[in-house]
């Protein structure tokens, strides 16, 4: 009897310990996932299970600085995945629309996953986000990039960090010679491809369907999606794509070659790398110089680079390049030639998007239109303003973002691929007295329905309603390949005859023929396809 009572007491004690441990955070079946590198414990909040800070490649530090992403070292036991890993080391941009929220480090190759808690049954569609930041800023930690609302709509949402600045895009002669079988230069793009391969290998463990992946991004992230659509090394890793303010014409691509001399005598990426090495006192371009560069403290590699200083750093930072393996030609030439993934796309830009005016006077602004200069003046300056910047910015934005989006949509549609174009014109109610249109990146909190994080107590019911609709269009597209759905205005696909777009206006989404057609046609007349000649040079580089 005593032994029996003791057993009962021990049983109660063990039960109490287990219950207490569960309340203290002991892993349960509902918050565990097993990847090819080990087991993870996530966190559940408001019906969403998230896993953060998941390593998808080895830390790119020391001898792995400027190398292709290497495999993760597997871990033993259960790894906590409840906090973001560090974003790539950088100098944050003061007016960034998506301010970083965590630590910064060269050790930054971490992914995050959100999914509906307790989901069982068929695999869910997957959406993979690529952040913007001009390839020198950005990360996954900003609150406006929270994937919870996608998960609430039945999507497995993934974000990941990639190397930016000189960590992500750097050419140097010794690098080209060090591992000749590897790609070189575009290390940020290599990270993106590695993350998509990680999704293919592991997303089923989180309830996602690796055969139903939509990749999407904004600004540099949108440009990255265009690169992934057209790169030989990323084909088959996704089935749909969304490009937000990502360009599409050669104007957005510097067209530098990794080695030799870039077009029009501009320096190659390797020459710019040599310039940077010289700026820190390293003159050897061989193995010894490379070793010295890898020994530099990480902050010396950043050297103050961000979106505000990019132009001043043009002689020591090159950005993405034509490397001959990942990037063999510009997206423009690849699209025109049909050398791309040919998957359904959404593409668009904002009504007051980014651009860089060219011209110090009105005459200089309109001179490139040639015989159409008077038409252009009537279209772009109907009020006869003498403010060169106010007139020039809309032209520049149309050249850099708006017309290229139409070009990509039309080109895809002409090849029989579903293409849906949008223009985001919605302005938060609290900002309408200051803004006539939607600036660059302002669509992001609406697409993510994170407008509360963006606008706080200034958020209105109309703002929230527009966010719910934008999110629904993006989710519908990920699920079916068509953004339209119940309770939403019909979004017709693009073609050159109808020129249909979905415009997100202050009154809500409106599907209509493009009201900017005249201006867009004028800007299109300025465009010249120069990429193929550059591509021929790049294709010869397989080093």
Q: Catalytic positions, please?
A: 219, 364, 440
Query: Which residues fall within 8 angstroms of residue 6, CB to CB, at 6 or more apart?
Result: none
Instruction: Report the SS3 class of residue 414.
Output: helix
State the Cα–Cα distance between residues 216 and 199, nearest whole angstrom.
14
How many CB atoms neighbour CB 278 within 10 A?
A: 14
In which region does residue 281 sit, left (phi positive, over 0), alpha (psi from -120 to 50) or beta (all else)?
A: left
User: What angle in degrees, to the nearest 10, is found between the helix axes of 388-397 and 373-380?
Assistant: 100
**Residue 307: which H helix or E strand, with range?**
none
Which is nearest to 479 in space by CA: 151, 126, 242? 126
How many CB atoms neighbour CB 500 within 10 A?
A: 18
In sequence order, the β-bridge partners of residue 345 are 241, 419
What tokens does 148 get?
Answer: 């919870």
State the Cα–Cα distance between residues 429 and 454, nearest whole angstrom.
13
Got the DSSP string for 519-542? HHHHHHTT----HHHHHHHHHT--
Burial of 237 (0-12, 13-18, 19+ CB in 10 A): buried
CA 360 to chain centre: 33
Q: CA 246 → CA 32, 258, 301, 405, distances in Å?
A: 36, 22, 27, 8
By the 8 A CB rule, do 110 and 48 touch? no
By the 8 A CB rule, do 499 and 407 touch? no
What tokens does 91 get?
Answer: 């100098």
By the 8 A CB rule, do 331 and 230 touch? yes
State the Cα–Cα distance between residues 157 and 115, nearest whole angstrom.
7
Detail the DSSP E strand segments found in 48-188.
Answer: 48-55, 78-80, 87-88, 104-105, 110-116, 124-130, 156-160
Query: Which residues fall within 8 angstroms of residue 469, CB to CB, at 6 or more apart?
Result: 488, 504, 508, 509
Which is nearest to 344 in space by CA: 112, 125, 121? 125
What tokens does 503 get?
Answer: 């415009």
Instruction: Report the SS3 class of residue 293.
Output: helix
Which is nearest to 492 in space by CA: 409, 415, 408? 409
Query: Which residues fall within 8 angstroms of residue 15, CB to CB, at 6 or more apart?
Result: none
DSSP 273: H
């Amino acid at each position: 009897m005593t032994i029996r009572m003791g057993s009962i007491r021990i049983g109660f004690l063990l039960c109490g310990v287990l219950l207490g441990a569960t309340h203290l955070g002991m892993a349960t079946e509902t918050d565990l996932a097993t990847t090819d590198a080990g087991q993870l414990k996530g966190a559940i909040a408001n019906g969403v299970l998230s896993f953060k800070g998941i390593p998808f490649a080895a830390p790119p530090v020391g001898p792995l600085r400027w190398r292709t992403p290497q495999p993760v070292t597997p871990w033993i036991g259960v790894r906590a995945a409840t906090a973001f890993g560090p974003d790539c080391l950088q100098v944050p941009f003061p007016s960034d629309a998506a301010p970083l929220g965590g630590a910064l480090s060269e050790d930054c190759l971490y992914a995050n996953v959100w999914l509906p808690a307790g989901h069982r049954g068929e695999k869910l569609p997957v959406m993979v986000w690529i952040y913007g930041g001009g390839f020198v800023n950005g990360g996954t930690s900003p609150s406006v990039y929270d994937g919870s609302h996608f998960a609430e709509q039945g999507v497995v949402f993934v974000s990941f960090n990639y190397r930016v600045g000189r960590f992500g895009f750097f050419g140097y002669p010794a690098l080209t010679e060090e591992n000749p079988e590897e790609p070189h230069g575009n290390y940020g793009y290599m990270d993106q491809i590695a993350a998509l391969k990680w999704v293919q290998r592991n997303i089923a463990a989180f309830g996602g369907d690796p055969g139903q992946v939509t990749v999407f991004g904004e600004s540099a992230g949108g440009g990255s999606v265009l690169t992934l659509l057209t790169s030989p090394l990323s084909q088959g890793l996704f089935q749909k794509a969304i490009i937000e303010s990502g360009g599409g014409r050669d104007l957005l691509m510097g067209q530098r070659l990794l080695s030799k001399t870039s077009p029009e005598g501009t320096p190659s990426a390797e020459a710019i790398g040599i310039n940077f090495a010289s700026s820190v006192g390293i003159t050897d371009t061989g193995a010894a110089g490379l070793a010295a560069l890898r020994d530099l403290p990480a902050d010396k590699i950043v050297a103050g680079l961000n979106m505000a200083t990019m132009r001043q750093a043009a002689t020591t930072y090159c950005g993405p390049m034509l490397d001959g393996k990942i990037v063999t030609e510009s997206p423009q030439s690849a699209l025109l030639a049909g050398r791309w993934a040919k998957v359904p796309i959404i593409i668009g830009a904002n009504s007051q998007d980014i651009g860089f005016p060219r011209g110090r006077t009105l005459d200089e602004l309109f001179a490139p239109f040639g015989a159409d200069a008077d038409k252009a003046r009537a279209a772009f300056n109907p009020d006869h303003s003498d403010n060169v910047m106010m007139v020039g910015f809309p032209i520049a934005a149309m050249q850099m973002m708006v017309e290229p989006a139409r070009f990509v949509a039309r080109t895809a549609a002409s090849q029989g691929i579903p293409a849906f174009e949008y223009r985001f014109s919605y302005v938060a109610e609290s900002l309408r007295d200051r803004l006539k249109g939607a600036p660059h990146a302002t669509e992001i909190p609406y697409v993510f329905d994170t407008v509360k994080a963006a606008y706080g107590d200034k958020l209105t019911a109309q703002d929230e309603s527009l966010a719910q609709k934008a999110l629904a269009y993006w989710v519908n597209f990920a699920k079916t390949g068509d953004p339209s759905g119940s309770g939403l205005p019909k979004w017709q696909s693009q073609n050159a005859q109808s020129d249909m777009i979905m415009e997100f206006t202050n009154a809500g989404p409106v599907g209509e023929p493009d009201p900017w057609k005249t201006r867009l046609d004028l800007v299109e007349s300025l465009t010249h396809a120069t990429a193929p000649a550059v591509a021929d040079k790049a294709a010869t580089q397989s080093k």
